[in-house]
C-alpha cells in the first residue's frame, strides 16, 4: 500500500508493535498508536501541548476492519513558541526545568537544615529538662538528710513542711537559664539561615533575571570587600566584634547549662577563648560541650588575630624596606631624581654641612629604595656626619612630595634625567608645577638643573621667584672654551665651586658701613672681597665694583673664603700700592681651534668663540655628522653662518676614534683642541669617557710623531718607545697645544691627572658643585651666571708681568692694590714650579719674591 506524502505540518500514525506481532488479538492491537514525526519535525522534540486529533476522523488510527489509513489533522499557520528558532541551542522550557531543579535542591537543603536545627533544639531542651530533674532530686535528698540530722525536738509539722531550696535556683531562675540557652543557640543559627536565604534568593534571581545585574550575594560580598579595603581599621574591628560576640554567646550558653551567675559565666567564656585548655575542669555533658565550642571558636579567632598581626608587621617592614614611610625632618635638603651627578652632589652637600656638625639629605626617585642605598654605599667618600635618607616615589605626585616633608625643606634640587634634553626639561617643568601646587607652601627655594638654555624661560615663568636654574650643558660648553683659551682654569673652577677649599659667601658686616670698596678689599685677612650686594637696588649683586663705591646700610659683602665662619673684618693694614709696569698691550692673533665631536649646543659655543677670538680665526669641526645636516642643525639653533665675522668654519667628516681619520687633520697646527662628549653617546658616561680618552691618546700620539726632532728633546728609533719616553713625548706634545676633554665620570679624572697630557673638565662634577652651592645660598647663582655669561666679568689667568717686575718682593695685599689699577681683583696665584693654584692665600701681608713665570688668578671684565 502506497503512502501519500502530506504537508510539512502533518503527522503519520502506525500500528503498535503488538499489532504486527499478533493479528489474532485485534482488540489489543488497537490500544495506542506509535507516533513518528514528519520531515519538518524530525529533529524536534515533542511539543509541549500536541494538538488532539478530531474524533470524527480517527479512532486510534485504525478502522473497524483493522486496515491502516491516513488521518489528516488541521495545520495551523502560526508557529508554536516552543518550536520557534531552530538554531537556538537551548529552548525556553529547559531553563524552566533547571530552575525547578535548583529550587527543589535549595528547598531540600533548607528543609534538612531546619530539621537539624529543630533536632538540636529538642536535644538541648531534653538535656535541660533532665538536668533540672536531677537538680531537683539532688535538692530533695539534701533536704531530707538535713531533716534526719536535725534535733529530735522537731515536730511532725516540720517534717511535713515543704523542703528548703538551699542553693537550688528558683523556677524563675531556671526559666531565665533556659531562655539564655535558647537565645544563644538561636543567635548561633540565625547567620546560617540568613546565608542560606541569601544564596537561595541569589540563585532564584539569576534564573529569572535576563539582564546583567549582579546577584545579591555578589553585591554583599563586594560591599564587605570594599569595607575591609577602604577602612584601615576594618579588619581589627571585625575581629574585635567577633571576639566579643563569641564571649557573649558563650557566656549565655554557660549560664544556661550551669548554676553560676551570668557575670561569672562571661568570665569563664573569656578564659575559654583566651586559653583553650581552661575547659578541662568542666563537669557534665552540657558544660563540656559549650566549653569545647567556645574553645574551638577562640582558637579560630586567635589564629585570625595572629595572621592579622603577622600581615601588619610584614606590611610595615615592607613599607620601610621599599621607602614608603614618611620622612619627619625639618631644614633638610631634598633631592628629586636620580642621575650620574648624585654622587658628586652628595659629596659636596656633606662637605657644606660639615661645619654644622652634619645635616640631613633626602633623596626621592622612582627607583627601589634598596637599590638606591646600595648605589650610595658604593660611593667612596665620607659623609662627614650627614645622614642620607632614600625614599621611593614620583616628584609628580603630591602625596609622595608630602611624604618627604617637601614644605619643610630648606632647599629642593631637581636633577635632570639622563637622555633626551627636551624630555628631561619637560619632566623638570612638571616637577616644578607639582612643587608649586603644595598647599602648605614651600619654605625653601627650588634649584632646577636644565639641559637646554631655551627651556629656562618656561621654568622660571612657572616657578617664579622660588626657582633658580642651572643650565648644565650651556655652562660646561662656555667653561670648556674658557679653559681651552686659558689652560689651568678648570682646576681654579674646581677649587671655587667645590666646598672642599674656598667658595663664595655673602654676609653683612655693619662695621664696614661708610667704607670705600678699596679699603674693604684689604680688610679681611682670611677672605677676598669680590663684590657688593646692594640693598637699595633690590639685593642686586655687583661683581668687581668701583674702588670709590661706599658701602651703605644694609649692603652685604661677597667674599671668597674657606667657610662662612672662618673670616671676619679686621683693622686696615698699611699697604704700599706702588706702580704698575708699563702698559701691557694684549696681542690679538688669529687662532685655530678644533672641535672633535658634536654637542647639541654647538651654535652657542660658536657664538662665544665669535665674540672672543681675533679676526681670521678658524674653527674646525670634526665629527661623523654629515655636512648638510650640520648646517641644518646650526640654522635651527639660531646661528646664521653668513654673519660670522671673526671665525670661519671648516667642516671635516670622520670618526674621532679611528686613527686614519685623525691623521687626515693638521693636528700639530691647532692652538686648542676640544674633545666633546658626543651627542650620540652622552647618555652613557663610561662610553663617552672611553671615547674621549681614546681620541685624546690618538691625537697626542699623532702630534708627538709629527713634532720635529728638536722639540722632542731626544732621538726616536723607528717609533718604538719605552713607557717613560712615550709618556715624555706625550707631555712635550701637550706643551705645544692645549687639549680640553669633556669628562662625564669623575673616576676618569685620575687617569688624566696621572698622565698629565691634557687639561680636563669634569662636567658632571662641576655641575654638581654649582647645584650644591646654589642650594646652600641661592644668591650665588647670580654670581655664577655673570662669570659664565658672554658679558660682564669672568675668571682670568694673568702673567706676573701684568702687575710686578722680575724679582720684586711684594705682599699679596700690595699685588691686590696694584691689580685694582687695571680693575682686576686678584684671588690667587700659582708659582711657576707648582701644579695647583692657591686661592685665598694665608698671610696676605707677608712679602715674598715673585718671578715673571708665576701667574695670578683674577676676576676681570671681559676683554
Alpha carbons 358 and 326: distance in angstroms, whole number: 21
Chain mean pLDDT for the chain: 77
Q: Which residues neighbour 775 within 8 Å (Cβ) at sequence distance 6 or greater?
A: 333, 349, 411, 413, 447
Question: Crossing angle for the helix pair 285-321 and 92-148, nearest 10 degrees?
Answer: 120
Predicted confidence (pLDDT) per residue in 739-765, tens digit: 888 888 777 776 776 666 667 777 788
Per the CB < 8 A criterion, the answer to whether 470 and 425 are in contact is no
- DSSP one-letter code for 550: B
Local structure of residue 669 (DSSP, 8 states): G
The three-class DSSP label of residue 617 is strand
Phi then psi for 759, rounded to 5 degrees? -70, 165
Residue 406, pLDDT score: 93
- The alpha carbon of residue 494 and the mean position of all alpha carbons in its chain are separated, in whole angstroms, by 33
pLDDT of residue 491: 84
Q: Does the global pTM surpass 0.85?
A: no
How far is it, in rounded angstroms, from Cα 350 to Cα 354?
Answer: 6
Grid cell for residue 391: 625614599
Question: Phi and psi of 532, rounded to 5°?
Answer: -130, 135
Alpha carbon separation from 256 to 84, 201, 364, 517, 833 (Å, rounded): 65, 35, 63, 101, 106
385 C-beta neighbours (distance < 10 Å), count? 12
pLDDT value of position 723: 41
How sure is the predictor about 805, in pLDDT bands with cuts at 50, 70 and 90?
Answer: confident
pLDDT at residue 72, rounded to an integer: 46
**Three-state DSSP state, 644:** coil
Could you tell me if 671 and 634 are in contact, meaning their C-beta atoms sit under 8 angstroms apart? no
Q: Which three cell numbers stand for residue 240?
A: 574585635
Q: Give me the mean pLDDT over the 333-362 stretch.
A: 90
Mean pLDDT of the 149-169 span: 47
For residues 458 and 314, give the distance between their C-alpha atoms in angstroms, rounded to a whole number. 45
Q: Which of 394, 372, 390 is nearest to 332 (CA)?
A: 390
Q: What is the rounded CA–CA span in Å between residue 548 and residue 540? A: 18
Query: What is the average pLDDT across 329-337?
Result: 93
The beta strands (E) that lie in 170-271 are given as: none
pLDDT tens string 643-674:
899 999 999 999 999 999 999 999 988 989 99
10-67 tens-digit pLDDT = 344 444 444 444 444 444 344 444 444 443 443 444 444 444 444 444 444 444 444 4
Q: Is 13 helix (H, G, I), strand (E, B) or coil?
A: strand
Helix, strand, coil proportions of the chain in percent (round to 5)? Answer: 50, 15, 35
pLDDT at 81 over 90: no
Q: Scanning the structure block, which residue is given the C-alpha cell 550551669?
A: 258
Residue of higher predicted confidence among 278 and 241: 241
Q: What is the mean pLDDT of residues 447-471?
A: 90
pLDDT given for residue 199 in this prediction: 66
Specify the pairing of strand 838-839 against strand 825-830.
antiparallel
Q: What is the largest CA-CA distance in the chain?
A: 160
For 753: left if phi > 0, alpha if psi spans -120 to 50, otherwise beta; the answer is alpha
Dist CA 531 CA 547 (whole Å):
11
Q: Are 541 and 531 in contact (CB under 8 A)?
A: yes
What is the b/e burial string over 684-709, where b = at least 16 CB atoms within 10 angstroms of the residue's CB? bbebbbebbbebbebbbbbbbeebee
Regarding predicted confidence, which is higher, 803 or 757?
A: 803
Residue 407 neighbours by CB distance under 10 Å: 16
Cβ–Cβ < 8 Å for 689, 751? no
Left, alpha or beta for 104 (phi > 0: left; psi -120 to 50: alpha)?
alpha
Sign of the four-CA dihedral 164, 167, 172, 177 = negative
pLDDT over 90 at 515, yes or no: yes
All three cell numbers of 293: 565550642
pLDDT band at 580 (very low <50, low <70, confident <90, very high): confident
Stronger pLDDT, 583 or 309, i.e. the higher one = 309
Identify the burial level of 181 via C-beta atoms within 10 angstroms of its C-beta, where 0-12 means exposed, 13-18 middle and 19 or more buried: buried
Q: What's the mean pLDDT in 115-130?
A: 64
Q: What is the pLDDT of residue 490?
A: 83
What pLDDT does 772 receive? 93
Separation between Cα atoms, residue 51 and residue 53, nearest integer Å: 6
Whether the CB-CB separation of 842 and 785 falls below 8 Å is answered with no
Residue 677 reports pLDDT greater than 80: yes
What is the rounded end-to-end Cα distance, in angstroms, of the chain? Answer: 130
Report whether 766 contacts 489 (CB < 8 A): no
Q: What is the pLDDT of residue 508?
A: 93
Backbone angles phi, psi at 12, to 5 degrees: -115, 140
Q: Is 653 helix (H, G, I), strand (E, B) or coil?
A: strand
Residue 295: which pLDDT band, with cuts at 50, 70 and 90?
A: confident
Confidence category of residue 122, pLDDT binned at 50, 70, 90: low
Q: How far apart are CA 549 and CA 159, in angstroms?
A: 129
Vertex 206 angle, CA 204 and 212, to 5°: 155
Grid coordinates representing 531?
A: 663684590
Query: Strands, E, within 95-169: which ranges?
Result: none
Once rounded to an integer, what is the mean pLDDT over residues 795-824?
A: 90
> Residue 542 — pLDDT band, cuts 50, 70, 90?
very high
d(CA 169, CA 173): 6
Spatial separation of the C-alpha atoms in residues 804 and 796, rounded to whole Å: 17
Nine-digit cell string for 664: 687626515
2: confidence class by pLDDT, cuts 50, 70, 90:
very low
pLDDT score of 98 = 53
In sequence order, what are the residues at sequence separation of 6 or more whose Cβ sits closer than 8 angstroms to the Cβ of residue 230? none
C-alpha cell at 747: 673616576
Q: Which of 52-56, 157-161, 500-504 has the highest mean pLDDT?
A: 500-504
pLDDT of residue 100 exceeding 60, the answer is: no
Strand 503-507 with 467-471, pairing: unpaired
Burial of 507 (0-12, 13-18, 19+ CB in 10 A): middle
Using the predicted structure, report yes or no on whether residue 733 has a pLDDT greater than 80. no
Choose the weakest-confidence range: 76-85, 108-117, 378-387.
76-85
- Please say whether the dihedral angle defined by the alpha carbons of residues 100, 103, 109 and 113, taken in this order, is positive or negative: negative
Which pLDDT score is estimated for 64? 43
632, 633, 635, 641: CA torsion to nearest 10? -90
Amino acid at each position: 500500500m502506497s503512502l501519500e506524502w502530506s504537508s510539512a505540518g502533518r503527522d503519520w500514525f502506525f500500528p503498535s508493535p503488538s499489532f504486527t506481532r499478533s493479528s489474532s488479538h485485534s482488540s489489543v492491537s488497537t490500544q495506542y498508536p506509535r507516533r513518528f514525526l514528519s520531515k519538518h519535525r524530525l529533529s524536534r522534540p515533542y511539543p509541549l501541548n500536541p494538538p488532539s486529533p478530531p474524533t470524527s476522523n480517527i479512532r486510534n488510527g485504525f478502522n473497524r476492519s483493522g486496515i491502516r489509513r491516513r488521518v489528516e489533522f488541521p495545520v495551523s499557520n502560526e508557529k508554536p513558541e516552543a518550536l520557534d528558532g531552530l538554531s537556538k541551542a537551548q529552548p525556553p522550557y529547559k531553563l524552566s526545568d533547571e530552575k525547578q531543579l535548583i529550587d527543589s535542591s535549595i528547598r531540600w537543603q533548607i528543609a534538612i537544615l531546619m530539621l537539624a536545627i529543630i533536632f538540636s533544639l529538642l536535644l538541648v531542651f531534653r538535656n535541660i529538662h533532665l538536668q533540672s530533674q536531677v537538680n531537683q532530686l539532688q535538692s530533695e535528698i539534701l533536704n531530707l538528710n538535713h531533716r534526719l540530722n536535725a534535733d529530735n525536738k522537731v515536730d511532725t509539722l516540720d517534717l511535713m513542711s515543704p523542703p528548703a531550696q538551699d542553693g537550688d535556683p528558683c523556677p524563675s531562675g531556671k526559666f531565665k537559664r533556659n531562655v539564655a540557652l535558647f537565645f544563644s543557640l538561636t543567635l548561633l543559627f540565625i547567620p546560617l539561615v540568613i546565608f542560606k536565604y541569601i544564596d537561595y534568593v541569589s540563585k532564584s534571581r539569576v534564573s529569572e533575571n535576563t539582564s546583567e545585574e549582579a546577584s545579591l550575594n555578589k553585591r554583599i560580598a563586594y560591599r564587605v570587600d570594599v569595607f575591609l579595603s577602604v577602612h584601615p581599621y576594618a579588619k581589627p574591628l571585625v575581629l574585635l566584634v567577633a571576639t566579643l560576640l563569641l564571649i557573649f554567646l558563650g557566656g549565655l550558653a554557660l549560664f544556661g547549662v550551669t548554676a553560676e551567675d551570668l557575670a561569672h559565666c562571661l568570665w569563664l567564656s573569656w578564659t575559654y577563648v583566651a586559653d583553650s585548655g581552661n575547659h578541662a575542669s568542666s563537669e557534665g555533658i552540657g558544660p563540656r560541650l559549650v566549653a569545647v565550642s567556645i574553645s574551638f571558636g577562640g582558637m579560630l579567632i586567635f589564629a585570625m588575630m595572629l595572621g592579622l598581626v603577622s600581615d601588619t608587621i610584614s606590611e610595615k617592614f615592607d613599607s620601610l624596606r621599599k621607602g614608603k614611610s614618611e620622612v619627619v625632618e625639618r631644614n633638610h635638603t631634598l633631592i628629586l631624581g636620580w642621575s650620574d651627578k648624585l654622587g658628586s652632589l652628595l659629596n659636596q652637600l656633606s662637605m657644606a654641612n660639615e661645619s654644622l656638625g652634619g645635616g640631613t639629605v633626602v633623596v626621592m626617585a622612582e627607583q627601589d629604595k634598596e637599590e638606591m642605598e646600595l648605589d650610595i654605599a658604593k660611593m667612596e667618600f665620607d659623609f662627614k656626619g650627614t645622614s642620607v635618607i632614600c625614599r621611593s616615589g614620583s616628584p609628580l605626585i603630591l602625596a609622595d612630595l608630602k611624604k618627604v616633608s617637601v614644605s619643610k625643606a630648606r632647599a629642593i634640587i631637581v636633577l635632570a634625567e639622563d637622555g633626551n634634553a627636551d624630555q628631561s626639561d619637560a619632566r623638570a617643568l612638571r616637577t616644578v608645577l607639582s612643587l608649586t601646587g603644595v598647599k602648605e607652601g614651600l619654605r625653601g627655594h627650588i634649584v632646577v638643573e636644565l639641559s637646554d638654555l631655551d627651556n629656562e624661560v618656561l621654568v622660571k615663568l612657572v616657578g617664579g621667584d622660588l626657582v633658580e636654574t642651572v643650565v648644565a650643558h650651556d655652562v660646561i660648553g662656555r667653561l670648556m672654551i674658557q679653559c681651552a683659551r686659558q689652560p689651568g682654569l678648570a682646576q681654579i673652577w674646581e677649587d671655587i665651586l667645590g666646598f672642599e677649599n674656598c667658595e663664595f659667601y655673602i654676609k653683612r658686616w655693619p662695621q664696614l658701613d661708610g667704607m670705600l670698596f678699596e679699603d674693604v678689599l684689604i680688610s679681611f685677612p682670611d677672605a677676598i672681597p669680590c663684590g657688593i650686594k646692594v640693598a637699595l637696588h633690590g639685593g642686586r649683586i655687583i661683581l668687581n665694583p668701583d674702588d670709590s663705591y661706599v658701602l651703605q646700610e644694609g649692603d652685604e659683602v661677597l667674599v671668597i673664603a674657606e667657610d662662612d665662619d672662618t673670616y671676619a673684618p679686621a683693622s686696615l693694614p698699611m699697604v704700599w700700592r706702588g706702580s704698575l709696569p708699563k702698559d701691557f698691550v694684549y696681542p690679538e692673533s688669529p687662532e685655530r681651534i678644533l672641535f672633535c665631536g658634536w654637542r647639541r649646543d654647538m651654535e652657542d659655543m660658536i657664538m662665544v668663540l665669535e665674540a672672543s677670538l681675533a679676526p681670521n680665526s678658524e674653527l674646525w669641526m670634526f665629527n661623523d655628522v654629515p655636512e648638510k645636516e650640520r648646517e641644518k642643525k646650526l640654522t635651527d639653533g639660531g646661528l646664521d653662518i653668513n654673519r660670522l665675522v671673526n671665525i670661519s668654519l671648516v667642516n671635516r667628516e670622520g670618526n674621532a676614534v679611528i686613527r686614519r681619520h685623525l691623521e687626515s687633520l693638521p693636528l700639530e697646527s691647532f692652538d686648542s683642541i676640544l674633545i666633546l662628549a658626543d651627542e650620540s653617546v652622552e647618555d652613557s658616561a663610561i662610553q663617552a669617557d672611553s671615547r674621549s680618552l681614546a681620541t685624546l691618546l690618538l691625537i697626542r700620539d699623532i702630534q708627538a710623531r709629527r713634532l720635529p726632532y728638536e722639540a722632542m728633546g731626544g732621538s726616536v728609533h723607528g717609533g718604538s718607545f719605552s713607557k717613560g719616553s712615550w709618556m715624555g713625548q706625550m707631555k712635550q706634545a701637550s706643551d705645544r697645544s692645549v687639549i680640553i676633554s669633556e669628562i662625564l665620570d669623575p673616576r676618569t679624572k685620575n687617569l688624566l691627572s696621572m698622565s698629565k697630557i691634557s687639561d680636563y673638565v669634569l662636567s658632571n662634577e662641576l655641575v654638581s658643585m654649582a647645584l650644591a652651592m646654589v642650594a646652600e645660598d641661592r644668591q650665588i647663582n647670580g654670581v655664577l651666571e655673570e662669570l659664565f655669561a658672554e658679558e660682564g666679568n669672568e675668571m682670568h689667568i694673568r702673567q706676573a708681568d701684568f702687575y710686578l717686575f722680575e724679582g720684586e718682593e711684594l705682599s699679596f695685599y700690595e699685588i691686590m692694590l696694584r691689580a685694582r689699577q687695571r680693575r682686576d681683583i686678584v684671588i690667587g696665584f700659582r708659582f711657576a714650579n707648582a701644579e695647583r693654584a692657591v686661592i685665598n692665600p694665608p698671610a696676605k701681608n707677608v712679602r715674598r719674591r715673585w718671578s715673571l713665570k708665576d701667574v695670578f688668578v683674577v676676576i676681570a671684565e671681559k676683554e
